[in-house]
Amino acid sequence: MRRLLMKHTILSGSSRKNSASLKVAKGMARVLKELGEADIELVDFEDYDIPFFNKELDVNDLSPFQQRLADAMRKADSIIFITPEYNWFPSAEMTHLVHRLAEDHFKDLWEHKVFSFVGVSSGRGGRMPTVQMGYVIDKIINVFGLESLTNPKSFEVQFTSKVLDKEGDSLGNEEFDKGFRLFAEYLIRLNNRLLASRQ
Q: How many domains does the chain have?
A: 1
Q: What is the pTM of this model?
A: 0.94
Residue 52 CA from chain centroid, whole number:
21
The answer on pLDDT for 62 being more than 70 is: yes
Residue 11 in 3-state DSSP? strand
Task: Say if 81 falls within a structural domain.
Answer: yes
Domain that holds residue 63: 7-197
Q: What is the pLDDT of residue 2?
A: 61
- What is the average per-residue pLDDT within 88-101? 90
Mean pLDDT of the chain: 92
Q: At 157, which CATH number?
A: 3.40.50.360
Residue 27 lies in a domain: yes
pLDDT tier, 168 (very low <50, low <70, confident <90, very high otherwise): very high
- Summarised one tens digit per residue, pLDDT across range 130-145 is 999 999 999 999 999 9
Q: Binning pLDDT at 50, 70 and 90, where does residue 98 land?
A: very high
Residue 12's alpha-carbon distances to 45, 54, 97, 120, 182, in angstroms, are 6, 25, 12, 10, 20
- Assess whether pLDDT exceeds 60 at residue 30: yes
Report yes or no on 2 lying in a domain. Answer: no
Q: How far is 145 from 143, CA to CA, in rounded Å?
A: 6
At 44 the pLDDT is 96
